[in-house]
Chain A
Amino acid sequence: MMPLAYARDGTLVRVVSIRAGKGLYRRLHELGIIEGRLLRVVRSQGPGPVIIEVIDNASPNRYRKRLCPFNCGVIGGRLLLGLGIAMKIIVEEVTNV
């Protein structure tokens, strides 16, 4: 487990917990960043800000097979999370979906 800020480029991670105040916690939920959900780390400056995609847990395999590089099995557009926020999201790397 590690803060999202430390995740490497191109990896798939699962959100374990979010250590944020009420407002931010809610905002992240509204963006689809919810405990248990999968994120693809598009870009990271490890440790630093990250660009992520939220993956639909119901169809991670479609994503895995690279059938859907964009927005298929992906929840919404890409998000840029600043270093501050990336440090508050605790994730674990996922190797097998």
Chain B
Amino acid sequence: MGLAHQLTPFAALLPLGVAFLMLALSHWLPPRSADVTSLVVSLGLVVLCGWLAIESLHGPILHWFGAWTPEVSGKPDVMLGIAFSVDPASAAVAAFCALLFAGSFVFAWGYFDKVHAHFHILMLLFLAAMIGFCLTRDLFNLFVWFELMGIAAFALTAYPLGKSSLEGAFNFTVTNALGSFLMLAGVGLLYARTGTLDFVTMGRVIASVPPDPVIAGGFCLLATALLTKAAIVPFHMWLSDAHAVAPSPVSVIFSGVMVSLGLFGLLKLIAMVFAGDAQVMMLVHVVLFWLGVATAVVGGLMAWAQRHLKRLLAFSTIAHLGVMLIAIASVSAIGTEGFLVYLVGHGLVKGTLFMIAGILLARFNSVDELELYGEGRSLWPAGIAMGLAGLLLGGLPWGLLHDATDSVHAGNHGVAGVVAIIVGTALTGAAVLRATGRIFLRWSGVPAVELVAPTEREREKGNRPLWLMLLPCVVMLAIALLPADLAESFLHSAASGLVARVVPHEGGGTLAAAITFALTILIPAASLLRRRPIRKFARRAVEAETAPFYALHVLHSGRVTDYVVWMMVGLAVLAGWLKFG
């Protein structure tokens, strides 16, 4: 019962308490006090969770709420209480969430000072939910934090009250709320079969019973909810709507960490609860792997075909989530290590890119790559940051993302996975570089597929100096440029604490990385050198090139009713593979 044990619950309780206090005083708070308080709280949580991560290297820290420890029930398999279980990976992810929030609070300094600190209240509740989601060891408690995370996110998306942001928020709410109902049904099924809600006990019970449709069904329902949150094909449609229209400081959080938390939750469930069920593990190895492949490819193609910068970044997030899912589907220590580094590296780079999109919005009232042609020259520091972030996203052989991709390649055993990672990574990096070239360098190139993409003019308040908005970008990029080797021993114990399974490492990662980076440079170069097709043959070629992208645009229709159909198709794929596969 050391200090770490006593401090663990504060990670979630402190932001909740501060949010309630701010709400109680909301009509009387002096200006800027909400900004200061939120920033201090999130920085404090970075320190707390980081320290907990290091402390937990000696063994997981368990805190039973209300002192309802396992002994109270007097029966071996009955866990009455709820525990927060701190392992290095969970605490590190929680610390990363808090770090990203701190960056977002700096970026949004003074932006949201009109509505009684309500923005900060929502953000702090959001942060508390994420930290609770990372640390909890109880299935229903996980649902509660998941749901709180959802409600805060829905509200923040609709915050600008524009036409698109309201519709985007509606689509986001309906799909994710439907996911959460399915999750609750899954929790119910698992409780009915195993009689407990505690991860570890449930895992023990599942390992001791023969494969059972109720357990498999429970997994499918939970996976649907988490894959919806994580925007995996075919559950991914809401993301491009929501992330493209949310205020940029909020999109930083959404793309940076909220969606990847869905995958982190899935990883924890697979590792702690379902590891003993052979049927479910087969589903993970096969179906989740192929869903990851599809996600990386679709996300990459769609990102390339966008002109609205925030929508482009949203699709790029989808592609990278596919790569992360491929890492998870290997269920191996090296894959998990790759996933954890990827989560952090991607979050930092994507957060930076959304902040730069926010800077463009604040200055030019647009994030349309074609409308902004050459406008960005006066903002050259932002251009340098964007170019660097694009290179990192596209596999620059340096920094966290590169090291993470290496680990993912090492844990992945399939040509399809390698190809999907190359395509997804290269196309998203290429798309960002193409936009950078057009906006900041006046490089032209006749637009092709991106011309038909949806776009809209929008506005964001530009009441902050440029250096203040660039400060978090620079810090985050600097962290993303660190090599992952610095924390090698920590990463090993964090990953093996979740998934201990060791697989033989695949070679060829270096070759794949070289191909990826070459493509990242060559594709935008080719695109920016493009001339108007004059000859008949050239026009035909352009039409043939555009057609598949056009079909993809049509499928991503923006209608929530379509999205629900795709969700059901996805659930049917999971369930049908178990039944007939």
Say if A and B assemble together: no
